Structure 1
């Protein structure tokens, strides 16, 4: 075989490798733009959409600069994919310029999936103490987990609570609670709800834990649709927080946000925060499944993630300001 033939064969292999590399990002982009991930197996890899952007950028750099991989069509295709992905992702990295009046009352909230109560209860109490949390939502917390949190001293810091370990989630608070209970919608299990009064206003809280798409995409999609229905009926002073088993790239999450909620991370330009998995050797958190969403009566002031030993999720901590009526975005 001549050197020229070998060169053609090598180029053919390079082109095939580029096709293989760009195929998944292109597929995810089409699904992301069409919103066809719900109730389909694509719902699971959809959480990797930001990483597919990185893959496209790597292919672009290599095909543009490495002589053995140089290919005009690969450069054009990968560049187009990078631009399209960037256009989709960009809004979550641009902070919203919300006017929050000085001296606006604030609520410090947090959510944590305790991994069946395995989260270190003393670490949870320390998180509440150091972050001065007003309202804490815990998910996947059975009766034994509730007891462990009480024994660790959470009751002293947060004497008010709406507990539903028989279902999944509970809400703790420094402030008195009212109108507690659970949702009565088509979710795999009821979601815990309650209200907190702050500055004379009643803020409605929903502790969220949906089914997971890897187990049953249709069940997960119904959970998200049911939460969207609840959000449409909610008042402006509403907070949904918990483990949604969904990222900002899922169509069902975007539907939930379109019902009148704002993701505090995206609002603050922190749209690629990662909360899961935690505790795996040599594997950092990769995706964000845990969120704090709020209605137009509030605005995000800060958001962050905290590691709590014993659980595979990071806690999300957020500070929310209560806006005067005139400053609400509807």
Structure 2
């Protein structure tokens, strides 16, 4: 099984296939490969040359693929006066998230833009009653499309994204430091339901990201980890950077949350940004009532001469 997952990860066989489900456990398979190699070396009865060599090669391959996300990317110089944008995303689990806790999180973390997924009309009303409208008064709300945006900063150019996704994504712009930053609140289809539909969603978002320019932020529930080929294609061809990987926080886990006794196991929720921005910080927070942890990131807008890519 360890070799099968490695082959899937190396070849991208998860795109549009049932392999999209197990490949999310790739980091755990890497840990098992280390355990298997250590056991073979430590136990004399298992110490045979060729099996040890094969196990060592498999473990090395896992390490090559995973270690980079635990090492912060080369950080370009971020001027002290660079404008910052503090964003957050949370899947509210069909409006079951604790609204007061979510509003308190927005206040305590000084969030500028909040992307929400699975927020029905009743959930919008509950958040308004809890006071979110007073904190983030500018809104692009689309409960019929499953993703919405709340903002402290005025929103412009808002509406459903024109892309071939299972349901429309919500987009808008904010102006920060005199520059327009495009926002896309993401909620893709899920691979367990239809791996081909999920792949088409991410492919459509890749095309949008490619045409969006450097001042772009895609944030939300991608139903994908960095070990999924369509997600990696979104990053490379779409010109986006995953903030967790950028800052060397490769062991972030956002799902499932509040599912005792299970801890969060995998990262499905991300903040991705274009080359006009750089990650300063990123973290996860637990919001009672939802099965996804919230992701919070602080992004700096880079001067034109400091951009990469």
Into which bin does the TM-score normalised by the smaller protein fall?
over 0.9
**Equivalent in the alignment of 2:282:** 303
Structure 1 window deviating more from structure 2 (30-39 vs 289-298): it is 30-39
How far did 1:101 drift?
1.4
Structure 1 window deviating more from structure 2 (69-78 vs 46-55): it is 69-78
Q: Secondary structure at the match of 2:66?
A: helix
How far did 1:134 drift?
0.2
**Equivalent in the alignment of 2:134:** 156
Query: In structure 1, which of residues 51, 59, 75 is the aligned counterpart of residue 36 of structure 2?
Result: 59
Gaps of 5+ in 2: none
Within 5 Å, give how 1:203-282 maps onto structure 2: 203-258=181-236, 259-282=238-261
Q: Bigger radius of gyration, 1 or 2?
A: 1
| Structure holding more helix per residue | 1
Show CA shifts across 1:285-330 (max 9, x none): 0000000000000000000000000000000000000000000112
* Number of aligned positions between the proteins: 307
- Residues in 1 aligned to 2:110 and 2:67: alpha-carbon distance in whole angstroms: 32
- Residues in 2 aligned to 1:89 and 1:253: alpha-carbon distance in whole angstroms: 15
Q: Secondary structure at the match of 1:208?
A: strand
Give structure 1 regions of 4+ aligned residues with deviation exceeding 6 angstroms: none
- Residues in 2 aligned to 1:215 and 1:84: alpha-carbon distance in whole angstroms: 30
**Equivalent in the alignment of 1:3:** none
Show CA shifts across 1:148-181 (max 9, x none): 1000000010010000011101100001110100
**Equivalent in the alignment of 2:123:** 145
Do the aligned partners of 1:60 and 1:74 also contact (CA within 8 Å) in 2? no
**Equivalent in the alignment of 1:323:** 302
**Equivalent in the alignment of 2:65:** 88
CA RMSD of aligned residues (A): 0.9
- Residues in 2 aligned to 1:84 and 1:245: alpha-carbon distance in whole angstroms: 25
- Residues in 1 aligned to 2:55 and 2:129: alpha-carbon distance in whole angstroms: 56
Give me the TM-score of the superposition, normalised by structure 2. Answer: 0.98
Q: Secondary structure at the match of 1:186?
A: coil
Gaps of 5+ in 1: 1-23
Show CA shifts across 1:92-142 (max 9, x none): 111012221111110100000000000000011011001000000000110
Give me the TM-score of the superposition, normalised by structure 1. Answer: 0.92
- Residues in 2 aligned to 1:93 and 1:265: alpha-carbon distance in whole angstroms: 9
Q: Secondary structure at the match of 2:153?
A: coil
- Residues in 1 aligned to 2:194 and 2:204: alpha-carbon distance in whole angstroms: 16
Structure 1 window deviating more from structure 2 (238-247 vs 273-282): it is 273-282
Do the aligned partners of 1:247 and 1:288 also contact (CA within 8 Å) in 2? yes
**Equivalent in the alignment of 1:169:** 147
